[in-house]
Amino acid sequence: MFPGQGSQVLGMGLDIYNAFLSAKQVFLEVDDALSFNLSDMIFHGSADELKQTENAQPAMMAVSMAHVAALREEFGINLADHVSFFAGHSLGEYTALCASGVMSIADTAKILKIRGLAMSTSSIMSGTMAAILGLNLETVEMLINEQYSAGKKAGTAIVLQIANDNAPGQVVVSGTRNAVESFITIAKKNGAKRSVLLEVSGPFHSELMQNAAYILADCLDQINFLKPAKPIIANCTARAESDNFRELLVQQITGRVRWRESMIFAKTNGVSKCWNIGAGKVLCGLAGRTCPEFSLVNINSVKTIEEAAKMIGAQQ
């Protein structure tokens, strides 16, 4: 599992950059592809600069792929030999495709830079996102439908949809700012434990991202997609996919990230252990809430890479 935007933190990946030549080479390859010293920003820049969407997206991929490269080159562990599926949350899906051999690191970095810039600047109108905690998916959907009906009766056009179905009791909505802010109040009145605006630069995974989808589609037309070493559990379908990645990635820009369903699909298809590879621990947390029986491992440092290598070696 590869994390998405929001898990970035200043200095992420610096320990493996210094410890493993293979990891350092990934960062340098990304810098070269972007003609920009992204690595220096990740390690020594400002948090505000790093969280900008066009920087955070290739940065998160670089950190995850550096861990993948260290496992492979330093410890002889090719992930495709040990996993049933790859998956990634939103931008993490690009990392999953890269890790499975569908796209090169250089191409993935370039796409994510373009994707991030398009997502932060191409919204049809001003919008935002909010996390709704403590309500299930069905309740959130019902409340959204009620808000649409009320808006229609009042002659008010709104855009509001579910962006992320992350885990039981954790849903993210996206849309026009007024609609999202109104929904926060509605959700709290209907039993949400917390409903909070997210610090994002746009209404991601909503129809307001259609212009970004057009830009991304043109970019992806230039990419030669290869067959994955193992299937990808796609965000928009929550099932294993081995082709049609261009269409799936374009759909993802305006569509729902079905992460809870993706974890259920993985469990149903024999998965019992999940590895979160890259910055943070968010995806292990979400997977554990959805499927408590999962064994969960975070691989996000020199120490955890070494521990994972020993664990995998012992199982061979």
CB burial of 151-171 (b: ≥16 within 10 Å; e: otherwise) equals beeeeeebbbbbbbbbbebbb
67 is catalytic: no
pLDDT score recorded for residue 23: 98
The pLDDT of residue 15 is 97
Name the active-site residue from 122, 182, 205, 262: 205
Rounded CA gap, 4 and 88, in Å? 7
205 in active site: yes
pLDDT value for 168 = 97
Predicted confidence at residue 311, as pLDDT, reads 86
Q: What are phi and psi of 150, to 5 degrees?
A: -65, -40
So what's the pLDDT on residue 316?
53
Supply the pLDDT for residue 161: 96
Domains of the chain as residue ranges with CATH: 14-122+208-315 (3.40.366.10), 127-201 (3.30.70.250)
In the chain, which stretches have pLDDT less than 50?
none
Say which of 7, 22, 90, 206 is annotated catalytic. 90
Distance CA 106, CA 108 (A): 5
Least Cα distance to 197 among 264, 128, 251 occurs for 128
The reported pTM is 0.95
Max intra-chain CA distance, the chain: 64
At residue 314, the pLDDT reads 59
CA-nearest of 64, 90, 72, 83 to 12 is 64
